Amino acid sequence: MQILALLCSSVFVSLIILGYKQAIHAICPYATVCFGISPAGFFSLSVGAFWFTAIAGVIFLIHSMFHGRVFCGYLCPLGTIQEALFSLRSAKYSRSHRVPYFYEVRFAGTKYPVLLITSLLSIIGIAYIFIRFCPIYAISMFPRLAIPGLAVLTLIVAAGLYIERFWCRYLCPYAALLNLFQMLGSFVGIKRRKISRNLERCIDCGICEISCPMNLQITEQEFVQSNDCIHCNLCAAKCPKPGTICCQKETDI
């Protein structure tokens, strides 16, 4: 699955190199919100691009109700780019400068106000205010960069060198929307697949938590309950005892 993430990022970079920069924003599942949920906003995208982004966005939302934020772990090019940036740091640095979980939970909540604000701007027809801050839009319009978007993109790059998946964890509105649909799925009784830990095999070494790009608690429970899990399976891959960590429904136990 890591190959899929790299492939998506390669397509993303190729579009930039080949000059199809605007196509990057057109295939973003959150682009319909950027352009506004209004007739004027709809026509800002081509008809084909609008329906593609709208349908893709809905598919990923429904998929998250059953399988969590797989989109973030394997399909989002911005997420993979952040992983590449953070990998430039040494393993020693990444371990000693992790955000304490107490603050992680609180910082992770900041993406919900971002979702609320962008959604309201879209509904009332002034989404163009938000789009100027969109990092994907900033890339798609290069070299005619919107200064606010360039500033956000710079923040993501700079913060990504120190905090793994900074944008995904704290600011991404689409991540917040995916989380809300996971909550909706749980509310209606859908048992989605989650990362689980075999309590008998686990030796509590903590390597799984050190490896987690979303800084989640894994060793404190049998199942990872956080909606922020992106199912990258790095925790299972790094575990010194193969088979201890896997992905399954809670009802499978």
CATH number, domain containing residue 225: 3.30.70.20
195 shares its domain with 134: no
Q: 83 and 204, same structural domain?
A: no
217 and 134 share a domain? no
Same domain, 147 and 32: yes
pLDDT of residue 136: 67
Is the pTM higher than 0.85? The answer reads: no
pLDDT of residue 40: 46
- Asked whether residue 165 falls in the same domain as residue 216, the answer is no
Kindly give the confidence (pLDDT) of every residue in the chain, 253 residues in length, as a single tens digit, with 9 standing for 90 and above: 556 655 665 666 555 555 555 555 555 666 656 655 444 444 444 444 556 667 777 888 899 999 999 888 888 877 877 887 787 775 555 554 678 888 898 999 999 998 888 878 777 766 556 666 677 666 666 656 667 777 777 888 888 888 889 989 998 888 998 999 999 999 998 888 899 999 989 999 989 998 899 999 898 888 998 999 999 889 999 999 988 998 888 765 4
Q: CA-CA distances (angstroms) from residue 180 to 13, 117, 176, 208, 227?
A: 30, 15, 6, 26, 9
pLDDT for residue 216: 92
Separation of alpha carbons 143 and 121, rounded Å: 26
Q: ∠ CA(107), CA(154), CA(164), 5° rounding?
A: 45
Q: Which domain holds residue 235?
A: 191-252
